[in-house]
C-alpha cells in the first residue's frame, strides 16, 4: 500500500522510516507524525503561497491570503487525504481505530501535512515542492473570484454594513458530545428585526459560519419576496 502511495505522490522514499512515521498516529505509541506535520504545514503554506502569487499576478495581498487559506484548510487537505487513501495506511491505537479515527478529517489533514514534511526531510525542498504542486495542480489552475473567498460571517457583516444595519449577534445555544466529537449549536440573530438562523458544527467557528450563511440566504429570499 505504501508503494502505491509513493507512485501517486510521484516520489520514492530513500528512507522508508520517514514515510512510516508520517503515517503513524500518536495513539499507536512510539515515533509519530506530529513533528513532521509541523514541518509540512510550514512548507505547504510557503509552496501554495508562492504558487498563488505566480498564478494570480493582479491579486491583492488579502485575496492571496484568503485563497491560500482556502487551499490549505482542513477540508481541502482531508479531501486530498481521502484521495490518497491515507485512512487505510494510518497506524493507530485500538481505541482510535474503534472510534473511527482513520476517517476523521482532522487526522487525515494532519497526515497529509506529515507526508509532505517527510518528503522534504527525505529529498529536500524541490522534490517536496513538486509533490505538493502535483497534488494541488487542479485547485491552482483557475484563480477564484475575489468575493467567493470571503467567509460567510464577513459577507454577512459587509452586507449589513452596506445597508447601515447593526451587526449580527452570535450565541452558543448548546454544546454536547465527547471531547473529540463536540457539537456546537449556534444562533445568528439580527438585532434590528429579530430574524434568526441556527446551525450546528464540530466547532463554534464552523457553526457560526454556517448560521451566517443561512442568514445570507434568508436576506436574499426576503429581498426577492
User: What is the distance between the alpha carbons of residues 177 and 195, in angstroms, rounded to a whole number?
Assistant: 28
Asked if residue 105 belongs to a known ligand binding site, the reply is: no
Residues 2 and 23: beta-carbon distance below 8 Å? yes
**Active-site annotation, residues:** 41, 113
**Phi and psi at residue 173, in whole multiples of 5°?**
-85, -35
Q: Where would I find the beta strands (DSSP E) of the chain?
A: 169-176, 183-189, 196-201
**Burial of 22 from C-beta contacts in 10 A (0-12 / 13-18 / 19+):** buried
113 is in an annotated binding site: yes
Cβ contacts of 131 within 8 Å, gap of 6 or more: 9, 10, 11, 116, 119
Residue 110 is labelled as binding a ligand: yes
Binding residues for Mg(2+): 37, 110, 113
Amino acid at each position: 500500500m505504501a508503494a502505491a502511495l509513493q507512485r501517486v505522490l510521484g516520489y520514492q522514499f530513500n528512507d522508508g522510516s520517514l514515510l512510516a512515521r508520517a503515517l503513524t498516529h500518536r495513539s499507536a505509541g512510539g515515533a509519530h507524525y506530529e513533528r513532521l506535520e509541523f514541518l509540512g504545514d510550514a512548507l505547504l503554506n510557503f509552496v501554495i503561497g508562492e504558487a498563488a502569487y505566480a498564478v494570480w499576478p493582479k491579486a491583492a495581498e488579502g485575496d492571496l491570503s484568503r485563497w491560500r487559506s482556502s487551499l490549505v484548510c482542513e477540508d481541502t487537505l482531508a479531501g486530498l487525504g481521502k484521495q490518497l487513501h491515507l485512512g487505510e495506511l494510518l497506524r493507530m491505537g485500538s481505541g482510535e481505530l474503534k472510534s473511527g479515527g482513520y476517517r476523521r478529517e482532522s487526522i487525515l489533514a494532519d497526515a497529509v501535512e506529515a507526508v509532505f514534511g517527510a518528503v522534504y526531510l527525505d529529498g529536500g525542498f524541490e522534490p517536496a515542492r513538486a509533490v505538493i504542486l502535483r497534488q494541488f495542480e487542479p485547485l491552482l489552475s483557475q484563480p477564484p473570484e475575489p468575493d467567493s473567498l470571503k467567509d460567510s460571517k464577513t459577507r454577512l457583516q459587509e452586507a449589513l454594513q452596506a445597508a447601515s444595519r447593526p451587526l449580527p449577534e452570535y450565541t452558543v445555544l448548546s454544546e454536547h458530545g465527547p471531547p473529540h466529537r463536540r457539537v456546537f449549536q449556534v444562533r445568528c440573530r439580527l438585532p434590528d428585526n429579530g430574524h434568526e438562523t441556527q446551525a450546528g458544527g464540530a466547532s463554534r467557528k464552523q457553526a457560526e459560519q454556517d448560521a451566517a450563511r443561512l442568514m445570507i440566504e434568508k436576506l436574499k429570499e426576503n429581498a426577492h419576496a
